[in-house]
Amino acid sequence: MSARLKWTSLAVIALVFGALALRALEAPPAAHFAAPRSGAADASSKPLYKSQLLPNSSAQVHSATAVELADGRLRAFWYGGTREGAPDVAIYTSAYSPKEDTWSPERAVMTRELAQRQLHRHVRKLGNPVAGRDPAGRIWLFFVSVSVGGWAGSAINATVSSDEGATWSPPRRLITSPFLNISTLVKGPLLRLADGTLALPVYHEMLGKFGELLRLDGEGRVIGKTRLSWGKSSLQPVVVPRSETEAVAFMRYSGDPPARVLMSRTRDAGVHWSEPLKTALPNPNAAVGGVLLEGGPLVLAFNNAEENRESLSLAVSSDFGDSWRVARTLESEAQLPRAPVAEYSYPWIMQDRAGDVHVLYTWGRSRIKHAVFNRAWLEGGG
């Protein structure tokens, strides 16, 4: 190499690495959680509880998620098909009107073929969806897809709607893992951060099982991540902030007995997380749902057994997860009607702007069930 070329190449190295350093310095610093809604706890009204099955037509359905619409309705999403993992599995949606207490007919938002065509990649099957809203008011729908193998071969995709779910953008692939970008799945709700970026709890299933919190920019690109847990036994994180800096993460547990819901804490807005510890609540290797009610307690929807998903309960904590009381049972052997397959799982819990709490969950693998209740009903459970 000539001396001139050698020094020119050194100058190019300096320029390129200068640009890399500049990019790193311009990266958004760690952001606080968006402050949770604060409102007075209103448990004085009459107890309200009602439930119904959604109008889904697929033989098997699973993994419901929902977002509140601008007009006060609820839009739910789930995946359904002839069976889990089948090529005909699609992501469906339906909207709930609280005034009429009815769900609209379902329609498919994303099919395997559409995802494959728009992602320009082979897609073998679709899985868990998660819906959420960004600060601009757009609805994001994240969903799992698999190109090869089982769920350990999953990747996450995102599509966005600016018209309350009527139309959707072509999906974009989230790049989350150095292993050919496989083995990342989604189940927990999207979080808003104070600087306008988003945080999405995800989990990995290849060899290890652990949770992470992805940070997304306004276009849904992954711009950072933090590990919520490590090892081989924690997955499907649900992160619930209490303030701009404090949050808890609940995780499904897949390790040795005793089988308990896992919990981790952060006090620095998710920069560091405590080692996940077992709570007093049982967990039969199943997803949980959590929400902090306005001005009130932390509520966890969970399967109240170590071995099966035959009961679904609501636990309440007034000290942000230190202690728990089982407040209500949504499904159990005593509840009627019973599903043909006694499995009540994958709860999604959220509070709407009117203060009512909604739980959507898989009912016997064949239907999605919606329960809506208020604080008075929850706290009247003894």
Partner 1 sequence: MAATTAFGLLGCGLLCAALLAALARLQRWPLRVRYAAALAAVALLLFPFGDVSPAGYVRGLTGDLSAVTLALAANALAGALRGRPLFGGRDVDALLAATAAAGLFLYPFALGWTPFDPYALGYGSIAFITALLLLTLAAWRAGLTPVVLVVLLAALAFLGGVYESRNLWDYLVDPLAGLYALVTLAAGRVRRYFSRAASARA
| Contact set with partner 1 (CB under 8 A) | 1, 9-10, 12-13, 16-17, 19-21, 23-25, 27, 113, 116-117, 120-123, 147-148, 172-175, 177-182, 204, 206-210, 212, 217, 221-227, 229-232
Shortest Cβ 125–partner 1 spacing (Å):
12
Shortest Cβ 324–partner 1 spacing (Å):
26
Q: What number of other Cβ atoms are within 10 A of residue 101's Cβ?
A: 11
Instruction: Pick between residue 58 and residue 177 the one whose CB is nearest to partner 1.
Output: 177
Instruction: Pick between residue 183 and residue 311 the one whose CB is nearest to partner 1.
Output: 183
Instruction: Pick between residue 195 and residue 217 the one whose CB is nearest to partner 1.
Output: 217
Which tokens in the block code for residue 89? Answer: 């599995």
Shortest Cβ 288–partner 1 spacing (Å):
20
Cα separation, 324 vs 326, whole angstroms: 7
Cα separation, 134 vs 197, whole angstroms: 8
Shortest Cβ 360–partner 1 spacing (Å):
29
Instruction: Pick between residue 70 and residue 148 the one whose CB is nearest to partner 1.
Output: 148
Q: For residue 312, what are the CA distances in angstroms to 194, 236, 239, 371?
A: 34, 17, 20, 12
Give the strand order in the sheet containing 325-331. Answer: 289-292, 298-303, 312-317, 325-331
Cα separation, 2 vs 351, whole angstroms: 69
Shortest Cβ 101–partner 1 spacing (Å):
40
Cα separation, 311 vs 347, whole angstroms: 12
Q: What number of other Cβ atoms are within 10 A of residue 110's Cβ?
A: 25
Instruction: Pick between residue 123 and residue 314 the one whose CB is nearest to partner 1.
Output: 123
Instruction: Pick between residue 20 and residue 280 the one whose CB is nearest to partner 1.
Output: 20
3-state helix, strand, coil in the chain (%, to 5): 10, 45, 45
Shortest Cβ 81–partner 1 spacing (Å):
18
Cα separation, 320 vs 316, whole angstroms: 9
